């Protein structure tokens, strides 16, 4: 049997576009002599459709899409993910399903058993878990069809008490097909390959796996669809971060001669390379899917905005990213000069607006109330907010989306001004620690200097008061980031952190900053997720909580 | 047996305060001769603890709290909610549990079976569902102990395939105890009383029910703990929106002579009365739990900010709420005058800051880029953002929390300026439609005119350009709110709305506005939830979605 894997960038709720892409791939597969073409989980709706699933109208549109696609499945079969209605009175109203389409109609439907409900996943919010298990027979072949998480219960902390493949294997399937919507993080390619291989080793039959690719706001999908033979050998792996399409013959599974997608990255810098490509895709798709082409950002002379600019230029084209320099009396000369050099290197447009005039006006208007109180946090924030107002004015006037340039270390400890530098439609670096920001800058400069060296080497500063340095208020970033990683990604508590050797006072101060700044993060733009634990939909914290605060 | 119900306002993660309150109530119950005192679901941690539950350190603190509380349970028993660790290898790591404490130690533990995972609930994110059922025997009495949702699977759309009481009733319990964390909405008192009564009618034994009271950021708990006898007769219902404590004798369940909490409200205006009290509690608890006392808000002369001010004054005291009037050239004379009258009526402090100077400065700074482009949306937003900057400057300087004054109708259609009038630490009216805002204003004025009549009767306007009216860009609020309610609360689609008789063009425009403004709502402050479907944690929508957009 010849099986085509179609790795597609879907758009949530854009049925017209999703159906068109699916039909095109069916045509392509049929023209290439495939017997079956496999699409991803919830392909017709895009993933995650979130609470659109609560609308009958939305579910009906999914069903119409399936009916429409089925008509194209003549002389070829297709597996397509879609929500379906649960006909039972008890239980949730929907299943997360895989349709097997053939002979112009729906031939079989299988439902997802294991519903991920952790981190960014909310599937038990919508779906009833499957409880019946049967293989699909097609052209004298027996297929064990499962959906994403169904294969993921064989790690070191199994979250579910059943295992769908344990139920199916007794029916002697010839191979497994798994359709997925498994989002990227910088460990995901390894985790995914490991889990899939474990399944093959356990069940002893080949596996055909199709994932989503592309960005849906914060969730990035890297693709990596693949085929593993019955011995656990990787036959082929589709591209990362782009659409792809390949055909395999089940009777002749020979390892592909094509380079694996991971080989594109320098072996000693895979993580940074992956983050780089993920962020570029994340920006590009955010704009495409919202129908925008142009970005704006404030270029401070610091490394975060410099890196954001480079990534945006890669994603959108240099002509489509406007940098605005917004110096104040506290900005160092090198800030503007370094920014100008960067802009020249990129050939992208720029503007300068001095914030002094607006600052003076605010100071004057506030004087009757502020009286002679000394310069402080309010005045620092005022500068950041004036910049936010100016950038948003340009955004509104000319139809730019403002890119936020805050990094994860700042977001974690609340080192940023709400409605100031925390403005933006999309946070590019909000899941990238400061130490990783440096890594990305070095990675970008690895062939030639794009980001001026001085931007990378100067001590980080918000430049909101004379001679300010980040290290005046925060631990050095190499310590801070380690504590933050242990607390945020690894969920270690104060006791464990102190046992690891971090200074007790620094630990307590840091965790308190993280927890008391939840109110700020509540109002940040969506953050492109590249780590296993990003701020945003995958990390849900109380605001009035009084824990470690 | 004498049973005390302790209806307490807990604070998430504040173990010291929660344990102290629980111990005090145990002492009170014991002093009053009670055999058993019942506390709410997840009492020791507060509800919802959200992702704090993923920290071992947090769970250990919960266990320590239980151990500590148990030592006080001598000569009296207590039922206390807490997360517990799941000892099994497979399944989620925690249970949502009820401890039965007696003789100074843990005597029994029961786990929650039905884990709500819809709207604002995420319980399957953390907890493994219970699968074993047994009653608790104490002092020759058999108690069927369940947790909140466990009793809620008997409505018209049962979400679960099991019913814990169906399992327990065969063990012939004498009565049911249910400990809950069931948040308020304006229908909740009816729904709750109806569901609890249904259980009594089905199982034929009395029910003792204890709920949370108080606000945890957006989630408001109204209390309403109660006792129903075996015939379905309401014996007594504890207060709404405040802590309460009462003792009942299981051998002598006579209907209380005290007025029911609902009788406090005018029979023809219960919904508005409940919303009013919920919002006041929501503001008060938000400030208390964050350790703040003072609020600031922009008073525009419109009804939304007027209402917010009155509610904040009720919550925090008139001396603690600073109103700032921020007129522009487009502000009508009556805006400032009406505001002044309101402030006089309340006796609260106020300031005036003219935004003209900052506006001129921005206009001048932007002139080289804006050139001679006509006045438009950018300039309208600029005014709103200048107000935001001024209010935040005062907030930062003097330690006020800025209250957001946007209503639900505006939030729904994106009729507001991000980083402008959408600023604030807490949105007071973000779950209150404009038509309900009028209702609340009338309710407040029912005995004497607090909000000047002119504020209520003048046509709503943002006053950001000459002679602007909300109705220039939006359908009239009485139509708009009906469409929004059907779409947001009732999840009706365009087809159903048009069938209800709403104009097709208006429906399509409205739904498109709602869906394309998700990006704005992503960055709004937490919203006090008073409806069955509020913007925020209970409504999760894609930003790049292309459905009805």
CATH code of the domain made up of A2-264: 3.60.110.10
Q: Kindly state the DSSP code that residue B106 receives in the 8-state scheme.
A: E
pLDDT score of B332: 84
Burial status of residue B230 (CB atoms within 10 A of its CB: 0-12, 13-18, 19 or more)? middle
Q: In the predicted model, is pLDDT for residue A537 greater than 90?
A: yes
- Judged by a CB distance cut-off of 8 A, whether residue A360 touches chain B is yes
Give me the sheet containing A350-352, strands edge to edge: A350-352, A321-325, A295-298, A401-404, A426-427
The pLDDT of B117-142, averaged and rounded, is: 98
Q: Which of B419, B521, B539 to mutate to test the interface with A (most CBs of A within 10 A)?
A: B419
The nearest CA of chain B is from the CA of A543 a distance in Å of: 6
C-beta atoms of B526 and A526 within 8 A? no
Q: Which of A112, A289, A408, A533 is catalytic?
A: A112
Q: What is the pLDDT of residues B278-325, one digit of tens each?
A: 999 999 999 999 999 999 999 999 999 999 999 999 999 999 999 999
Quickly state the pLDDT bin for A457 (edges 50, 70, 90): very high
Q: Which of A391, A393, A420, A536 to mutate to test the interface with B (most CBs of B within 10 A)?
A: A393
Bridge-partner residues for B79, per DSSP?
Answer: B38, B100
Q: Kindly state the DSSP code that residue A487 receives in the 8-state scheme.
A: I
Cβ under 8 Å to A: B residues 472-511: 491, 493-496
Burial status of residue A497 (CB atoms within 10 A of its CB: 0-12, 13-18, 19 or more)? buried
Give me the sheet containing A207-210, strands edge to edge: A136-138, A141-147, A175-179, A207-210, A226-228, A234-237
Q: Which residues of B touch A56 (CB under 8 A)?
A: 491, 493
- Please check whether residue A195 is in contact with residue A155, taking contact to mean a CB–CB distance below 8 angstroms: yes
Q: In the predicted model, is pLDDT for residue A156 greater than 90?
A: no
pLDDT score of B334: 86
Q: What is the pLDDT of residues B398-435, one digit of tens each?
A: 999 999 999 999 999 999 999 999 999 999 999 999 99
| Residue among B11, B92, B285 minimizing CB distance to A546 | B11
Cβ under 8 Å to A: B residues 375-414: 376-378, 381-382, 385-386, 388-390, 392-394, 396-397
Q: How far apart are CA B407 and CA B430, in angstroms?
A: 4
Q: In the predicted model, is pLDDT for residue A335 greater than 90?
A: no
Quickly state the pLDDT bin for B142 (edges 50, 70, 90): very high
C-beta atoms of A17 and B546 within 8 A? yes
Q: If you average pLDDT over every residue of chain A, what do you get?
A: 97
The pLDDT of A503-532, averaged and rounded, is: 97
Cβ under 8 Å to B: A residues 290-349: 290
Q: Which of A30, A62, A73, A148 is catalytic?
A: A148
Q: What is the pLDDT of residues A298-327, one digit of tens each?
A: 999 999 999 999 999 999 999 999 999 999
Q: What is the pLDDT of residues A162-192, one digit of tens each?
A: 999 999 999 999 999 999 999 999 999 999 9
- DSSP-derived secondary structure for B380-435: HHHHHHHHHHHHHHHHHHHTPEEEE---HHHHHHT-S-TTTTT--SEESSTTS-HH
- Judged by a CB distance cut-off of 8 A, whether residue A256 touches chain B is no
| Residue among B353, B361, B526 minimizing CB distance to A357 | B361
Percent of chain B having pLDDT more than 70?
Answer: 100
Closest CA to A38 of A245, A216, A254, A228: A245
Beta strand extents in A207-311 (DSSP E only): 207-210, 213-216, 219-222, 226-228, 234-237, 244-249, 295-298
pLDDT score of B117: 98
pLDDT score of B329: 87
- Judged by a CB distance cut-off of 8 A, whether residue A522 touches chain B is yes
Residue B355 structure tokens = 């935004």
Whether B148 sits among the annotated catalytic residues: the reply is yes
Q: In the predicted model, is pLDDT for residue A135 greater than 90?
A: yes
Beta strand extents in B204-327 (DSSP E only): 207-210, 213-216, 219-222, 226-228, 234-237, 244-249, 295-298, 321-325
pLDDT score of B69: 98
C-beta atoms of B365 and A353 within 8 A? yes
Residue A374 structure tokens = 């000394």
Q: How far apart are CA B385 and CA B388, in angstroms?
A: 5
Task: Name the residue in chain A with its Cα closest to that of B399.
Answer: A378
Helices (H) and strands (E) in chain B, counts: 17, 19
Q: Which residues of A touch B158 (CB under 8 A)?
A: 89-91
| Residue among B48, B160, B543 minimizing CB distance to A90 | B160
The pLDDT of A242-252, averaged and rounded, is: 97
Q: In the predicted model, is pLDDT for residue A361 greater than 90?
A: yes
Q: Which residues of B touch A377 (CB under 8 A)?
A: 396
The nearest CA of chain B is from the CA of A11 a distance in Å of: 7
C-beta atoms of B286 and A360 within 8 A? no
C-beta atoms of A366 and B353 within 8 A? yes
- ∠ CA B409-B411-B416, nearest 5°, is 110
Percent of chain A having pLDDT more than 90?
Answer: 95
Q: Which of A161, A354, A545, A549 to mutate to test the interface with B (most CBs of B within 10 A)?
A: A545
pLDDT score of A385: 98
For A337, A458, B381, the CA distances from A334, given in Å and listed in that order, are 5, 10, 33
Question: What is the phi/psi pair of residue B77, to 5°?
Answer: -105, 160
Bridge-partner residues for B234, per DSSP?
Answer: B228
Instruction: Give the distance from CA A142 to its chain's centroid.
Output: 35
pLDDT score of B462: 87
Q: How far apart are CA B368 and CA B174, in angstroms?
A: 80
**Fold type of domain B269-470:** Rossmann fold (3.40.50)
Q: In the predicted model, is pLDDT for residue A334 greater than 90?
A: no
- Please check whether residue A129 is in contact with residue A113, taking contact to mean a CB–CB distance below 8 angstroms: yes
Task: Name the residue in chain A with its Cα closest to that of B283.
Answer: A544
Quickly state the pLDDT bin for A219 (edges 50, 70, 90): very high
| Residue among A160, A419, A544 minimizing CB distance to B423 | A419
Task: Name the residue in chain B with its Cα closest to that of A283.
Answer: B544
- Please check whether residue B422 is in contact with residue B524, taking contact to mean a CB–CB distance below 8 angstroms: yes
pLDDT score of A15: 98
- Please check whether residue A309 is in contact with residue A428, taking contact to mean a CB–CB distance below 8 angstroms: no
β-strand pairing of A2-7 with A36-38: parallel
Task: Name the residue in chain B with its Cα closest to that of A16.
Answer: B546
The pTM is what? 0.98
Q: In the predicted model, is pLDDT for residue A105 greater than 90?
A: yes
Q: How far apart are CA B449 and CA B443, in angstroms?
A: 10
Give domain limits for chain A: 2-264, 269-470
State the virtual CA torsion across B528, B534, B539, B541 in degrees, nearest 10. -100
pLDDT score of B331: 86
C-beta atoms of B378 and A357 within 8 A? no
C-beta atoms of A12 and B382 within 8 A? no
Whether A509 sits among the annotated catalytic residues: the reply is no
Q: What is the pLDDT of residues A250-278, one digit of tens each?
A: 999 999 999 999 999 999 999 999 999 99
The pLDDT of A21-28, averaged and rounded, is: 98
CATH code of the domain made up of B2-263: 3.60.110.10
C-beta atoms of B286 and A544 within 8 A? yes
The nearest CA of chain A is from the CA of B491 a distance in Å of: 6
- The size of the A-B interface in CB pairs under 8 A is 272
Q: In the predicted model, is pLDDT for residue A46 greater than 90?
A: yes
The nearest CA of chain B is from the CA of A144 a distance in Å of: 23
Q: What is the pLDDT of residues B218-232, one digit of tens each?
A: 999 999 999 999 999
Q: Which of B72, B112, B434, B520 is catalytic?
A: B112
Q: Which residues of A touch B386 (CB under 8 A)?
A: 389
Q: Kindly state the DSSP code that residue B103 receives in the 8-state scheme.
A: T
- Please check whether residue A232 is in contact with residue A225, taking contact to mean a CB–CB distance below 8 angstroms: no
C-beta atoms of B90 and A378 within 8 A? no
Q: In the predicted model, is pLDDT for residue A71 greater than 90?
A: yes
C-beta atoms of A392 and B376 within 8 A? no
Q: How far apart are CA B541 and CA B518, in angstroms?
A: 7
pLDDT score of B529: 98
Quickly state the pLDDT bin for B156 (edges 50, 70, 90): confident
- Please check whether residue A491 is in contact with residue B54, taking contact to mean a CB–CB distance below 8 angstroms: yes
- DSSP-derived secondary structure for B150-164: GG-TTSSS---S--H
Q: How far apart are CA B127 and CA A95, in angstroms?
A: 21
Quickly state the pLDDT bin for B138 (edges 50, 70, 90): very high
Q: Which residues of A touch B217 (CB under 8 A)?
A: 542-544
pLDDT score of B421: 98
Cβ under 8 Å to B: A residues 419-448: 419, 423, 425
pLDDT score of A30: 98
Q: Which residues of A touch B49 (CB under 8 A)?
A: 542, 545
C-beta atoms of A393 and B362 within 8 A? yes
Q: How far apart are CA B168 and CA B142, in angstroms?
A: 10
The nearest CA of chain B is from the CA of A221 a distance in Å of: 14
pLDDT score of B212: 98
pLDDT score of A110: 98
The pLDDT of B341-361, averaged and rounded, is: 97
Q: In the predicted model, is pLDDT for residue B38 greater than 90?
A: yes
Helices (H), ranges, A148-265: 164-168, 188-203
pLDDT score of A462: 87
Q: In terms of residues, how long is chain B?
A: 549
Q: What is the pLDDT of residues B475-526, one digit of tens each?
A: 999 999 999 999 999 999 999 999 999 999 999 999 999 999 999 999 999 9
- Please check whether residue A388 is in contact with residue A406, taking contact to mean a CB–CB distance below 8 angstroms: no
Q: Which residues of B touch A500 (CB under 8 A)?
A: none
Q: How far apart are CA B485 and CA B539, in angstroms?
A: 14
Q: Half-sphere exposure of residue B234, counting CA atoms within 13 Å on the CB side?
A: 21
Whether B131 sits among the annotated catalytic residues: the reply is no
pLDDT score of B287: 98
- Judged by a CB distance cut-off of 8 A, whether residue B56 touches chain A is yes
């Amino acid at each position: 049997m010849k099986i085509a894997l179609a790795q597609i960038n879907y758009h949530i709720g854009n049925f017209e576009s999703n159906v068109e892409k699916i039909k095109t791939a069916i045509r392509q597969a049929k023209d290439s002599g495939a017997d079956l073409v496999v699409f991803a989980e919830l392909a017709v709706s895009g993933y995650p459709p979130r609470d659109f699933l609560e609308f009958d109208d939305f579910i009906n549109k999914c069903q119409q899409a399936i009916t429409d696609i089925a008509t194209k499945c003549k002389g070829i079969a297709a597996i397509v993910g879609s929500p379906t209605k649960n006909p039972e009175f008890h239980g949730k109203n929907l299943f997360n399903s895989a349709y097997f389409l053939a002979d112009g109609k729906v031939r079989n439907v299988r439902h997802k058993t294991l519903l991920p409900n952790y981190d960014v996943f909310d599937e038990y919010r919508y779906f009833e878990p499957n409880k019946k298990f049967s293989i699909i027979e097609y052209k004298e072949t027996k297929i064990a069809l499962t959906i994403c998480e169904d294969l993921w219960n064989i790690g070191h902390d199994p979250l579910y008490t059943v295992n769908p493949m344990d139920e199916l294997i007794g029916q002697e399937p010839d191979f497994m097909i798994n359709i997925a919507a498994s989002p990227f993080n910088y460990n995901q390619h390894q985790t995914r390959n490991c889990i899939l291989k474990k399944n093959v080793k356990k069940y002893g039959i080949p596996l055909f796996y199709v994932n989503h690719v592309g960005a849906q706001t914060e969730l990035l999908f890297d693709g990596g669809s693949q085929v593993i033979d019955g011995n656990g050998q990787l036959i082929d792996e589709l591209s990362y971060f782009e659409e792809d399409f390949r055909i395999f013959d089940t009777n002749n599974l020979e390892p592909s001669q094509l380079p694996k997608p991971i080989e594109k990255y320098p072996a000693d810098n895979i993580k940074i390379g992956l983050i780089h490509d993920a962020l570029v895709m994340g920006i590009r798709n955010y704009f495409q899917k919202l129908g925008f082409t142009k970005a704006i950002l404030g270029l401070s002379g610091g490394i975060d905005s410099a890196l954001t600019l480079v990534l945006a230029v890669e994603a959108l084209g240099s002509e489509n990213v406007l940098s605005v320099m917004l110096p104040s009396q506290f900005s160092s000369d090198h800030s503007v000069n370094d920014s100008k050099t960067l802009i020249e290197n990129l050939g992208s447009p720029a503007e300068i607006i001095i914030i002094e005039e607006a600052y003076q006006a605010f100071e004057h208007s506030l004087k009757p109330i502020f009286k002679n109180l000394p310069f402080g946090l309010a005045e620092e924030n005022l500068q950041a907010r004036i910049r936010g107002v100016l950038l948003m004015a340009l955004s509104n006037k000319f139809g730019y989306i403002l890119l936020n340039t805050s990094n994860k270390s700042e977001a974690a400890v609340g080192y940023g001004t709400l409605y100031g530098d925390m403005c933006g439609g999309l946070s590019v670096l909000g899941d990238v620690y400061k130490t990783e920001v440096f890594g990305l800058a070095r990675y970008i400069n690895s062939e030639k200097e794009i980001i001026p060296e001085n931007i990378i080497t100067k001590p980080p500063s918000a430049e909101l008061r004379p001679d300010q340095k980040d290290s005046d208020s925060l631990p050095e970033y190499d310590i801070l980031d380690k504590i933050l990683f242990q607390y945020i990604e690894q969920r270690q508590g104060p006791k464990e952190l102190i046992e690891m050797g971090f200074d007790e006072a620094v630990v307590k101060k840091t965790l308190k900053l993280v927890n008391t700044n939840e109110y700020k993060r509540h109002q940040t733009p969506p953050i492109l997720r590249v780590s296993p634990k990003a701020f945003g939909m995958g990390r849900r914290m109380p605001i009035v909580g009084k824990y470690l605060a």
